[in-house]
Structure 1
């Protein structure tokens, strides 16, 4: 039976839909909405506190108070520039508008004019903020640099994945503003590189000072969240980002269990990079980490970026997997605090345990770097050795408190004396 031909109206609608279909994530996409399965674990960790940057949170009622301050900073940045010409800055952003729109994972429901205004104001606001801090410009009308608490929250907001603008726009506007004094040596007031200015954002974070020194100027930076991750990876002494990722995540004992089985824990003093875990013989060396109010949000946004943009290079997720295994309860946290590995600014050890146990929830672990895989294998092999298990049982049952230790030693000593006395008695009878 012959099939009837579809009517022209239906064909036209379907053809139009198919022709207008676009890839969800264009090649230049790098700024993402945090997936719902990650967001539901802690909504606040991904939401800006005081300032919106970019289109995703623009118009948020809780962030409107900063809009006038952003406009003021934008105006003062343009006045500070060599050109002092608003038209040149607007033209610069207009030329980049299509490329900027493609950087976001969602279809931006804003007109070209609206998006240009948002990107221009937000980028100039960031640049003026960085310059004011670098040159210590402080004015009586400065509502940002004067209150320390507000500065902390703004730096926090500038690192959130959803609260980003493309780095290339910042770079273009910065070079447009100071073409003759940028990195100059003879000018009365030369301007440092944009990368140097960004140091202000990372103050008090988990990034080591080595990162900025080692980061090449020609490295492509997508935005501040991406820069934060790159600084973390490049500061690793083990060059962890170059390691093979063919291993699978396996089980590992908790920190207190490993300690009972004879594994020693030390701070890795040879590296300030969080990722530089090292196992030598049966001593596990872990870099120091300070846990404070913003630590969870900072790590969550880095993990979300890895999950969305570079899941096959999830090196921070590897680290979180290890910490998640090592920390099960507040006792594990207390043990790592005692060893100097964790510094707890939250006050509650149970809160620290909840952070590290929650960070790994709903993460996709496709593989594990070989450095960590070897650590897992060696620790599990050490713990599986029968002699180590017997020693662990002895410690747990007879030496878990000072009094039990003393009592056990005394009992062993008395047993030895009894054996010696018995031997001498037998020898006396024989003679």
Structure 2
């Protein structure tokens, strides 16, 4: 055992340079003392809970940007295209060589390292060369999306023509697009600004060019294609390409909110004793039944009315409700009566708990009926030309407004990495994550996708509606649950309206108490048999025809 441990230790230490480690630590501490600007971590490893759901959506498949995936052998093929892009950048530099650009980037080594959540086991020169070459390739690719008066700035070199095109029809083009937005495949945006500044000899011109590139890229990748007014974003405040895309898509929410792990939520216990002791629901039901029966004076219904006024039933109804509710089978009947007639009143009488406003939502609070169920209950669904902030529910017109969403082969990667970035970076509510949970909630099957597509809410460029439904249903995994006030209100209002519809209550009743409960069926049969026996005994003692004559004379 000791031999195995020593061999393992020697193997693990063989790749560890102690002297280099000490030199790097000393240099890092000395440089941080002179650093005036605090740089926050902005490039993270994807959380494992998300990575396990779909690794290919978070791992670059064609080209690596930055140090996280740089040494993967399957990505080496793109290195020659990166070097070709660097050579073209070198030709455009004014009175400088590419080596001079790298020397300038070496000065930003502490700032570059500070952007990455993971420790970078590279020396400063290697890191600077990596950033310069990756930035050259990325900027050349982004030229496709540079928008100046509706036209592209320049043509992509013939060396990349078989990889990318303006229409995005080539598979490599879309593969690069997906790799560009992956969280672990980002490089700091100030590196791109610096390379452009060297090219244009002006930081203002560099920022204008970079902004046009990223706005064009966002219009290509954003799932919300119909946004009327794009937000104005200051390029120097963005951390990387994915951060720019996030700011373009996700509205700002100022409300602070506590967050917690989803697994820690537990439903608060309910006071069942107080409900079971309350006879008001049964009294209201009997009052309504009596009002209906009092209007019935024809045919055999008169006999049923006389039966209800008989002494045995009057005696049963005079018993305390606690005794009746504890009889075998009557507890199921009580729950059924309360659900069908008084569930809405109970919800309205529920006191507001001010202490729970900042608590994370329960899992069942995110539940919302599917599109098909909402349509059956009378809810209209209409599209909006905007982002997530346009999601509303009009109670008066019973209309749910949702932003128009376009789905294509790149959408799933964009959605997943935006969720991963938000979970890693955001300290407040996870707005975009909650939106994906909402869409996952209302889309269960391809029928739901079809209804959204017919109403213009969903533009499906995938192969089938089934594939689109699978996309949204695969977005169910999240890191934590948070309250997003305007989305929470929409979910609450929709659920309140839907759950109070009689057809919904009836469907739930039959599913819960009839199809899924043999006890209720047994109780129902026993009640019917008891009624027939009472009716037979009543008619044997009292002449039913005589009672009918008395009712007629009255």
Q: Is 1:178 paired with 2:200?
A: yes
* C-alpha spacing 1:347/1:310, structure 2 compared with 1 (3 Å): same
Residue 187 of structure 1 corresponds to: none
Map of 1:215 onto structure 2: 232
Are residue 374 (structure 1) and residue 392 (structure 2) matched? no
1:102 is paired with a residue whose SS is helix
Is the contact made by 1:244 and 1:370 (CA closer than 8 Å) also made in structure 2?
A: no
1:260 pairs with 2:350:
no
Which of 379, 385, 394 lines up with 1:280 in the alignment?
A: 394
1:90-129 equivalences in 2 (<5 Å): 90-129=102-141
TM-score, structure 2 as length reference = 0.60
8 Å Cα contact 2:381-2:400 kept in structure 1: yes
Deviation readout 1:27-71 (Å, 9 max, x if unpaired): 621111111111111011011122110011102222111101101
Q: 2:470 aligns with which of 328, 331, 354?
A: 354
Deviation per CA, 1:218-250, whole angstroms, max 9, x where unpaired?
66101111111000125xxxxx52356446251
Instruction: Give 2:419's aligned residue.
Output: 303
| 1:149-206 residue CA offsets vs partner (Å, 9 max, x unmatched) | 12222222111111100011111221122115953xxxxxx99431112234332532
Distance 1:193 1:387 in 2: 59
In structure 1, stretches of 5+ residues that fail to align are: 1-15, 184-189, 235-239, 394-431
Contact 1:211/1:231, CA 8 A, preserved across alignment: no
How many pairs are equivalent? 365
Structure 2 residue corresponding to 1:248, chosen from 361, 365, 379:
361
Q: CA deviation at 1:312?
A: 2.1
Structure 2 residue 158 is the aligned partner of structure 1 residue 157: no
- Is the 2:197–2:203 Cα contact (8 Å) retained in structure 1? no
**1:137 corresponds to 2:160:** no
Which residue does the alignment assign to 2:347?
none
Whether the 8 Å CA contact 1:31–1:105 is kept in 2: the answer is yes
- The CA deviation at 1:130 is 2.7
Larger radius of gyration: 2
The offset of 1:383, in angstroms, is: 1.8
Task: Note if contact 2:90-2:98 (Cα within 8 Å) is conserved in structure 1.
Answer: yes
Which residue of structure 2 aligns with residue 293 of structure 1?
409
1:383 aligns with 2:405: no
Structure 2 residue aligned with 1:197: 213
Asked if the contact 2:174/2:410 (under 8 Å) is kept, the reply is: no
**Counterpart-to-counterpart distance in 1, 2:407 and 2:452:** 12
Unaligned runs of 5+ in 2: 1-20, 29-37, 146-151, 258-357, 509-554
Contact 1:32–1:104, Cα closer than 8 Å, also in 2 = yes
Match of 1:7 in 2: none
Contact kept in structure 1, 2:225 and 2:406, CA below 8 Å: no
Name the counterpart of 1:427. Answer: none
Return the structure number with greater helix share. 2
My pick for the range that moved more, 309-318 or 50-59, is 309-318
**Is the partner of 2:474 in helix, strand or coil?**
helix
Distance in 2 (CA, whole Å) between partners of 1:139 and 1:386 is 62
- 1-structure distance, mates of 2:425, 2:156: 38
Q: Distance in 1 between matches of 2:226 and 2:406?
A: 15
Q: Partners in 2 of 1:361 and 1:384 — Cα distance?
A: 26
Check whether the contact 1:97–1:116 (CA below 8 A) recurs between aligned residues: yes
Deviation at residue 212 of structure 1 after TM alignment: 8.3
State the superposition RMSD in angstroms: 3.4
User: Using the alignment, how far apart are the partners of 2:255 and 2:247 within structure 1?
Assistant: 15
TM-score, normalised on structure 1?
0.76
